[in-house]
Homo-oligomer: A and B are copies of this chain.
Amino acid sequence: MTHLTDIEIAQQVTPKPINEIAQKAGVPEDALDLYGSYKAKIDVRALQDQPASKGKLILVTAISPTPAGEGKTTMSVGLADGLSYIGEKAMLALREPSLGPVFGVKGGAAGGGYAQVIPMEDINLHFTGDLHAIGAANNLLAAMIDNHIHHGNALNIDTRSISWKRVVDMNDRQLRQIVDGLGGATNGVPREDGYDITVASEIMAVLCLAEDLKDLKERLSSMVVAYNFDKQPITAGDLKAAGALATLLKEAIKPNLVQTLEQTPALIHGGPFANIAHGCNSVVATKTAMHLADYTVTEAGFGADLGAEKFLDIKGRMAGIRPDAVVVVATVRALKMHGGVKKTDLKEPNPQAVKDGLPNLMRHVDNLRQVYGLNVVVGINQFTFDTQEELDVVLQACAEKDIPVEVADVWGEGGKGASDLAKRVVELANQPQEEVRYAYDLDTTIQEKLDTLVSRIYGGNNAKLLLAARRQARQLEELGYGNLPICVAKTQYSFTDQAGRVGAPTDFDVTIRELRLSAGAGFIVALAGNIMTMPGLPKQPAAESIDIDVEGNITGLF
């Protein structure tokens, strides 16, 4: 164990030039667009002649998150390094971080300890500009909507129905609810409006689900931004915006290549919110990694009830990809919280609390095995204060249910610490799997799909749609959007819609307050409770302690 911070560890390692990493990964030189020496975009069209690899996909997901932290990204990085360590050709496919959290609460999205992707400063700061490009496209469309209305509103848009918000890649609560277009007739048309953080933009989801430029343009064109006074949807295509938006995104759709501290190639590309969107990296990145590497490690946001479910039922179903093995990450600390222990008491050994927390883990594992028919291994992300007795509780419970399980210390040891897990993953990924199946069928009603998710995945009874949501469901079905998959936006901390109900609750309904159409992304968002699409800064934002010296060295980033 070490007392170095993440940024200090990252800065100790001299990264390899990215073209060497690319060569190792099988990416030809002419497919690379370098962004400095350690980042590159890949033109995936130049990869078509490459020999296909084994193409095994490993999905990393987790128990329901707790404030104790599960270290899912760190485990993903460590597992990919572990696969490299045992001699396999591995690659990572992860999400890009947003600037908002970097300057808000301390913490980035590049792993931690000895399991990080680098250059972590760049990855956390602008990276290759994808999020800015998405923001620009989002805000161009917003400007075109209001400009259309300002110049006569030929499309007869009902300004009260505009669902398209502007975005900024920053935590800025002041912008959640605004009135714009003030100041008289030369300054637009006054209306209620608001901002989301960029990663909550539908364009982020569209970029992440698009197969290529053609698909991107079609999805952009079909995004519904408002309704006219006849209640018919108005799309970005109606506003003639799709070509310009796609032009702004021409580089952003190319996946970004970086490396881990142990020089495993990593594609970091796309980062949609895991509540109002599907919360995993781009289809292009996942497929590119699967084309190049024998083992691709990818991560889904939040717990398996949200992240893995959406990966499987939305992304996987759309893109025709399926994990060959799933790692469900758990920590002793987090299991203790699911067993009722408070965050302040986590350092106390408490095997009984671990045991009491296990039903949360088991429900996620059961879902993945029984609902989806997948090969699952539990990966215990080891922390310094974990006792052997506590670890044994998890190991024994898994053994009893014939669930593969491995302990890994990736934070302290990197890939070496995940070598057992890596071996087990290779074993599982090469075993036969049951036939592909999904949690719900697309050709059922919205109500039925939601009921199925609540009962099969969350372990509850039914979805209760409030009046507004029932009305929206009827409208969406009438407009022909009824067969889209559902993207549930609910608290990640519980199987239920109430953050405090940890563990594995039973006998509950999930209340759906609102439905939102993401016609370009191709799903319907079902909101259970108030979902925050624009975070705020804390009283002492991380920004106050971030600094750069005259030589360009950054401190306080993590």
Contacts and interface: CB of A to CB of B under 8 A. Distances in A.
Contacts of A541: 144, 147
Nearest to A215: B550
A340 interface: no
Given A129-B132, A136-B99, A169-B136, A536 B37 contact: no
Max chain B CB contacts within 10 Å: which of A35, A181, A543? A543
Number of copies: 2
A176 B170 contact: no
A172 B187 contact: no
A188 B169 contact: no
A247 B182 CA distance: 34
Interface string A503-531: 00000000000000000000000000000
A187 B173 contact: yes
Interface stretch (A78-86, A236-244, A279-287): A236-244
A550 B241 CA distance: 16
Contacts of A140: 99, 103, 170, 543
Nearest to A186: B173
B178 A182 contact: yes
A250 B182 CA distance: 36
Nearest to A128: B129
Interface in A117-170: 125-126, 129, 132-133, 135-136, 139-140, 142-144, 146-147, 150-152, 166, 168-170
What are the 5 tightest A-B residue pairs by CB atom distance, in nearest-first order? A243-B547, A177-B183, A132-B132, A174-B188, A244-B543
28 contacts: A33-B37, A35-B35, A99-B136, A99-B248, A126-B136, A126-B251, A129-B129, A129-B132, A132-B135, A139-B170, A140-B543, A142-B174, A143-B537, A147-B173, A147-B174, A147-B536, A173-B186, A173-B188, A174-B188, A176-B188, A177-B180, A178-B180, A178-B193, A179-B182, A243-B546, A244-B543, A247-B548, A250-B552
Interface of A: 33-37, 41, 99, 103, 125-126, 129, 132-133, 135-136, 139-140, 142-144, 146-147, 150-152, 166, 168-183, 186-189, 193, 212-214, 217, 240-241, 243-244, 246-248, 250-251, 536-537, 539, 541, 543-552, 554, 556-557
